[in-house]
């Protein structure tokens, strides 16, 4: 039995979480993240709450910039927490669904999508981060910080994907075009 290749300093347990279970290719050990439920709360639930609050109230559109001008941007914004959820289901559950096990490329591309979208929205909200940090005492400031939490979660999942499967299966190719596409789409919101 192989030991996990991920150090505990990386935020992942050093002991394998799933050995020989479904989705483990050739008995390769997979490690579960140490704070997997925090990833679910801050990488999936908080962005969904933030998107719902902005869609219903339009606070950011009235005060700063309109991040969700139409339905397409709403679907784009919701793709980041949905992609983080797919990655969470693959990496953080003891027995992931069989369709996620069979389609590793789907999880990889979903993770890249979450990175690109959350990075784009994070760049949009970067100027108001100091105010958001001050307002986070009242929990209202967490809403503009949601893209940063989603990006951090997607980045942690990227590290987990790269550590838990062979390097030939997880390619970082395509992330630069995805980031530039997200930037082009999100630049329209500041006009």
pLDDT for the residue 19: 33
For the chain, state the CA radius of gyration: 17
pLDDT tens sequence across 67-108: 999 999 999 999 999 999 998 888 877 777 777 777 778 888
pLDDT tens sequence across 126-180: 998 888 888 888 877 888 899 999 999 999 888 887 776 554 444 444 455 666 6
Please indicate, yes or no, whether the overall pTM of this predicted structure exceeds 0.85.
Answer: no
Instruction: Inform me whether the pLDDT recorded for 31 exceeds 90.
Output: no
Residues 6+ apart with CB under 8 A from 180: none
Q: How far apart are CA 77 and CA 68, in angstroms?
A: 8
Instruction: Inform me whether the pLDDT recorded for 117 exceeds 80.
Output: yes
pLDDT for the residue 34: 66
Element (H, E) at 50: helix 46-57
* DSSP string computed for 83-149: HHHHHHHHHSSSS--HHHHH-HHHHHHHHHHHHHHHHHHHHHHGGGHHHHHHHGGGTTTHHHHHHHH
pLDDT for the residue 181: 64
Q: Out of 64-68, 117-121, 172-176, which region has the weakest mean confidence (pLDDT)?
A: 172-176
What does the pLDDT average to over 118-129? Answer: 92
What does the pLDDT average to over 4-25? Answer: 42
Q: How far apart are CA 128 and CA 1, in angstroms?
A: 49
pLDDT for the residue 8: 43
Select from 53, 44, 49 the least CA-distant residue to 81: 44
Select from 80, 94, 61 the least CA-distant residue to 189: 61
pLDDT for the residue 157: 87
Q: How far apart are CA 79 and CA 102, in angstroms?
A: 21
111-to-21, 95, 142, 173 alpha-carbon distances in Å: 22, 19, 22, 12
pLDDT band at 10 (very low <50, low <70, confident <90, very high): very low
Instruction: Inform me whether the pLDDT recorded for 18 exceeds 80.
Output: no
């Amino acid at each position: 039995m192989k030991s996990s290749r991920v150090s505990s300093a990386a935020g992942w347990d050093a002991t394998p979480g799933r050995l020989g279970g479904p989705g483990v290719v050739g008995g390769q050990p997979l490690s579960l993240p140490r704070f997997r439920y925090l990833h679910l709360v801050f990488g999936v639930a908080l962005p969904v709450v933030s998107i719902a609050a902005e869609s219903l109230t339009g606070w950011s559109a009235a005060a700063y910039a309109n991040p969700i001008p139409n339905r397409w941007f709403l679907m784009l914004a919701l793709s980041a927490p949905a992609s983080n959820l797919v990655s969470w289901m693959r990496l953080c559950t003891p027995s992931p669904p069989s369709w996620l096990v069979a389609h590793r490329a789907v999880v990889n591309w979903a993770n890249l999508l979450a990175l690109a979208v959350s990075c784009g929205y994070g760049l949009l909200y970067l100027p108001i981060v100091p105010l958001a940090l001050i307002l986070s005492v009242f929990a209202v400031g967490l809403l503009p910080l949601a893209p940063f939490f989603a990006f951090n979660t997607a980045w942690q999942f990227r590290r987990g994907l790269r550590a838990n499967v062979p390097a030939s299966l997880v390619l970082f190719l395509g992330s630069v075009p995805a980031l530039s596409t997200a930037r082009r789409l999100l630049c329209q919101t500041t006009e």
